[in-house]
C-alpha cells in the first residue's frame, strides 16, 4: 500500500473515531499525524456547498433624461435597462433542495441560480429573507433529486482555538477551501446585523465567500460566513460567521412555509451597562443587560421583569451585553420558557419568561398615493410584532414607515424605513387613517414631527 493510501486510511479511521457531538481536541501524537490531510472532510463537505448567482434589472438613471421637458424636446424614449449581478455562496441544508445563504447576496434579485460543485446549474426561488440576521433561504425549482446536505452542529460547543474550514466561491474563481481556527466567539460589536453574536475566524474569507460554509473537523456546519474586516477588500485574517444555532432558527421558519422568521417576543427594551452605570450598581465590571422599559401585556411584564433590573444570565448562559441576550433569547425554541436571572438592587431574582411570538394585529398597512411629502411611503400602525421587527419603542404613539421605493417622492425628501410619524401640522397621528386623511389636504407648508432612532425630529417642508 502506498504512503498516500496509508495516510488516507489513517484519516478515515481518525474521522470515524470522532465523537458525534463534538470534535476531539488533542495535540498531534507523532510526526505522522502532523502530515495528516483535511481531504476526507473536504470531500464530504464540498458537494453540499453551492455557488449562488443573483441578478436584478435596473434602469440607467440620467438626471437629464428624467426631466419630462428635456425628454419631450429631444424625443428621448424609455431609458435603457441593465442587469446587475452579484455572486455568493450557499449551503444545502435539506435534501429536497433547500439552500441557506446571506440575505445581502440575493437582496433585490429578480433571478437566482444555484450552481453545484459538479457544475450543474439550477433555477432557485427565494423562500424566506431575514435582514435582521442577514440570512436567506432558497429552494431549487422543479427538481426531484436528493441533494447532498450538511448537518448543523451545536455552535455553543465551539471553543476558541478549534480548527475550522471555510468553503465558498471567493472572487468567482470556483469552489475554494481555506483553513484556520476559531479566533474568538460571541463577537457582539461588529455592527453587521441586528443579532450580533459572531464566530470570528482567521480562515481566509474573501468577497464571494458570503453565504458559504464554516465547518468543524467532523464536517458539520458551525456557521455561515458573512463578512470580513478588511482595509484592502481582501482577507486580512478577520472573518465573521453567523453561528449555526441562529441558522437553525431561520431554516425552521422556512420549512414551515413562513415568509418571516418566528422568534420569541421579549417585550422589553434593554440598554448596555456603561462604566458609570456599573459603578452606580456596584459592579466590578460593566456587564449584563439593563432593562430600560417593559411593554404592557408582554411576556416580560407577566414574568415580573421590572425597569432597572440587570439581566445577568439566560438558561445558564452569562449575559455580557444586550446583543448577547438578544442572540440567546432569539435562539430559544418557541413554546417553552426561558430561565432569566436578574440582579434587582443587591438581590438575585430568578424569572421564567414565556417563549411566544409577538401579536401582529391591527397593522392596517397602506401606501400613501396623494400628492404630499409622504407620497409613495408604505405606513402601518405599530403592532408589538412590528415594533419588535423594526426595533422600535412600542410606547411611542404614531405610525411607522415600513417601506418606500427609491424613486418615491417620500424617499426624495428624506424619509426612511422605521421613521415614526408623530404629528403633521400640529395634528397628532395615532393611526394610518389619520395620516392618509391629512395627505388628501393641500398645505403650503408641512410641519412634521417624527421619531428616528429614538430621537424626535421636527421638519418643515414646502407644499
104 is in an annotated binding site: yes
56 and 128 together in one domain: yes
Which one of the listed residues 89, 115, 155, 210 is annotated catalytic? 210
- Among 79-88, 203-212, 252-261, 286-295, the range with the most confident prediction by mean pLDDT is 286-295
CA dihedral 406, 408, 409, 412 (to 10 degrees): 0
For 117, the 3-state DSSP assignment is coil
Taking alpha carbons only, the member of 250, 288, 213, 299 closest to residue 132 is: 250
Q: What is the pLDDT of residue 386?
A: 87
Taking alpha carbons only, the member of 124, 144, 125, 126 closest to residue 136 is: 126
Indicate whether 452 belongs to any domain: yes
pLDDT of 367 above 60: yes
209 is in an annotated binding site: yes
How many residues are given for the chain? 463
Compute the average pLDDT of residues 92-102. 93
288 and 332 together in one domain: yes
pLDDT of 1 above 60: no
Domain that holds residue 432: 366-462
pLDDT of 413 above 50: yes
- Indicate the residue among 140, 174, 192 that finishes a domain: 140
Is the distance from CB of 208 to CB of 171 less than 8 angstroms?
A: yes
Q: Distance of CA 58 to CAs 55, 110, 410, Å? A: 10, 10, 20
User: Which grid cell sits at 429?
Assistant: 397621528
37 is in an annotated binding site: no
Is 134 one of the annotated active-site residues of the chain? yes
Indicate whether 427 belongs to any domain: yes
Q: What is the pLDDT of residue 408?
A: 87
Residue 214's beta-bridge partner residues? 166, 223
Indicate whether 146 belongs to any domain: no
Cβ contacts of 196 within 8 Å, gap of 6 or more: 187, 188, 189, 190, 323, 326, 327
The DSSP annotation for 289-343 comes to EEEEEE-TTSHHHHHT--TT-EEEEETTEE--SHHHHHHHHHTSPTTSEEEEEEE
Which one of the listed residues 104, 202, 253, 383 is annotated catalytic? 104
165 and 201 together in one domain: yes
Residues 14 and 354: their CA atoms lie apart, in Å, by 44
CA 4 to chain centre: 43
Q: What is the CATH number of the domain that holds 63?
A: 2.40.10.10
Q: Give the sign of the dihedral formed by CA 388, CA 391, CA 393, CA 397.
A: negative
Q: Distance of CA 309 to CAs 135, 281, 395, 430, Å? A: 32, 11, 19, 31
Q: What is the pLDDT of residue 9?
A: 41
E strand spans, 188-320:
198-201, 213-215, 221-228, 239-243, 268-272, 289-294, 310-314, 317-318
pLDDT of 24 above 80: no
For 225, the 3-state DSSP assignment is strand
Is 94 one of the annotated active-site residues of the chain? no
- Indicate the residue among 224, 255, 286 that finishes a domain: 255
Indicate whether 202 belongs to any domain: yes
Q: What is the pLDDT of residue 84?
A: 55
Convert the pLDDT of each residue in 152-194 to its tens digit: 999 999 999 999 999 988 877 778 899 999 998 988 777 667 7
For 190, the 3-state DSSP assignment is coil
Residues 269 and 378: their CA atoms lie apart, in Å, by 25
Indicate whether 260 belongs to any domain: no
69 and 112 together in one domain: yes
Indicate whether 147 belongs to any domain: no
Residues 318 and 331: their CA atoms lie apart, in Å, by 15
The chain-wide mean pLDDT, for the chain, equals: 84
296 and 238 together in one domain: no
- Top pLDDT among 22 and 175 is at 175
Q: Distance of CA 348 to CAs 4, 267, 326, 340, 351, Å? A: 60, 21, 21, 10, 10
Which one of the listed residues 130, 134, 202, 321 is annotated catalytic? 134
Compute the average pLDDT of residues 354-383. 90
77 and 122 together in one domain: yes
Compute the average pLDDT of residues 423-428. 92
Compute the average pLDDT of residues 84-102. 88
360 is in an annotated binding site: no
Give me the number of domains the chain comprises. 5
- Please report which confidence band the pLDDT of residue 46 belongs to, taking 50, 70 and 90 as the band edges: very high
282 and 211 together in one domain: no
297 is in an annotated binding site: no
Indicate whether 314 belongs to any domain: yes
170 and 224 together in one domain: yes
pLDDT of 82 above 80: no
79 and 99 together in one domain: yes
Is 321 one of the annotated active-site residues of the chain? no
Q: What is the pLDDT of residue 3?
A: 37
- Indicate the residue among 209, 233, 255 that finishes a domain: 255
335 and 390 together in one domain: no
- Looking only at the bridges linking them, the beta strands covering 337-344 and 317-318 are unpaired
Q: What is the pLDDT of residue 57?
A: 64
300 and 215 together in one domain: no
Indicate whether 360 belongs to any domain: no
pLDDT of 259 above 70: yes
Number of neighbours of residue 63 by Cβ within 10 angstroms: 7
Task: State pTM to two decimals.
Answer: 0.77
64 and 136 together in one domain: yes
Amino acid at each position: 500500500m502506498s504512503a498516500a493510501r496509508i495516510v488516507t486510511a489513517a484519516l478515515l479511521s481518525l474521522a470515524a473515531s470522532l465523537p458525534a457531538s463534538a470534535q476531539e481536541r488533542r495535540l498531534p501524537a507523532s510526526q505522522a499525524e502532523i502530515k495528516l490531510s483535511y481531504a476526507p472532510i473536504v470531500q464530504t463537505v464540498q458537494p453540499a456547498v453551492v455557488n449562488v448567482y443573483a441578478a436584478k434589472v435596473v434602469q440607467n438613471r440620467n438626471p437629464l433624461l428624467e426631466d419630462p421637458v428635456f425628454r419631450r424636446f429631444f424625443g428621448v424614449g424609455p431609458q435603457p435597462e441593465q442587469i446587475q449581478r452579484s455572486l455568493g455562496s450557499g449551503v444545502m441544508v435539506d435534501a429536497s433542495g433547500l439552500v441557506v445563504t446571506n440575505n445581502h447576496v440575493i437582496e433585490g434579485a429578480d433571478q437566482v441560480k444555484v450552481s453545484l460543485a459538479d457544475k450543474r446549474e439550477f433555477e432557485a426561488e427565494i423562500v424566506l429573507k431575514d435582514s435582521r440576521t442577514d440570512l436567506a433561504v432558497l429552494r431549487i425549482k422543479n427538481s426531484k433529486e436528493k441533494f447532498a446536505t450538511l448537518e448543523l452542529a451545536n455552535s455553543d460547543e465551539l471553543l476558541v482555538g478549534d480548527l475550522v474550514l471555510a468553503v465558498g466561491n471567493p472572487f468567482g474563481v470556483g469552489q475554494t477551501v481555506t483553513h484556520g481556527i476559531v479566533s474568538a466567539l460571541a463577537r457582539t460589536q461588529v455592527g453587521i446585523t441586528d443579532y450580533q453574536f459572531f464566530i470570528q475566524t482567521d480562515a481566509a474569507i474573501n468577497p464571494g465567500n458570503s453565504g458559504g460554509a464554516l465547518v468543524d473537523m467532523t464536517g458539520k456546519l458551525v456557521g455561515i460566513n458573512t463578512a470580513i474586516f478588511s482595509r484592502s477588500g481582501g482577507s486580512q485574517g478577520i472573518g465573521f460567521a453567523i453561528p449555526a444555532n441562529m441558522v437553525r432558527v431561520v431554516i425552521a421558519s422556512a420549512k414551515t412555509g413562513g415568509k418571516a422568521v418566528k422568534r420569541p417576543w421579549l417585550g422589553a427594551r434593554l440598554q448596555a451597562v456603561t462604566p458609570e452605570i456599573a459603578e452606580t450598581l456596584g459592579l466590578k465590571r460593566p456587564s449584563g443587560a439593563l432593562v430600560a422599559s417593559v411593554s404592557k401585556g408582554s411576556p416580560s411584564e407577566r414574568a415580573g421583569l421590572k425597569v432597572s433590573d440587570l439581566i445577568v444570565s439566560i438558561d445558564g448562559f452569562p449575559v455580557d451585553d444586550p446583543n448577547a441576550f438578544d442572540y440567546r433569547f432569539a435562539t430559544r425554541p418557541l413554546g417553552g420558557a426561558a430561565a432569566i436571572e436578574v440582579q434587582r438592587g443587591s438581590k438575585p431574582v430568578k424569572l421564567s419568561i414565556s417563549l411566544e411570538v409577538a401579536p401582529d394585529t391591527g397593522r392596517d398597512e397602506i401606501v400613501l398615493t396623494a400628492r404630499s411629502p409622504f407620497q409613495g411611503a408604505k405606513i402601518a400602525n405599530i403592532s408589538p410584532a412590528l415594533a419588535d421587527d423594526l426595533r422600535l419603542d412600542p410606547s411611542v404613539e404614531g405610525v411607522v414607515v415600513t417601506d418606500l421605493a427609491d424613486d418615491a417622492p417620500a424617499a426624495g425628501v428624506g424619509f426612511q424605513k422605521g421613521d415614526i410619524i408623530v404629528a403633521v401640522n400640529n395634528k397628532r397621528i395615532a393611526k394610518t387613517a389619520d395620516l392618509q386623511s391629512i395627505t388628501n389636504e393641500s398645505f403650503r407648508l408641512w410641519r412634521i414631527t417624527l421619531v428616528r432612532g429614538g430621537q424626535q425630529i421636527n421638519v418643515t417642508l414646502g407644499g
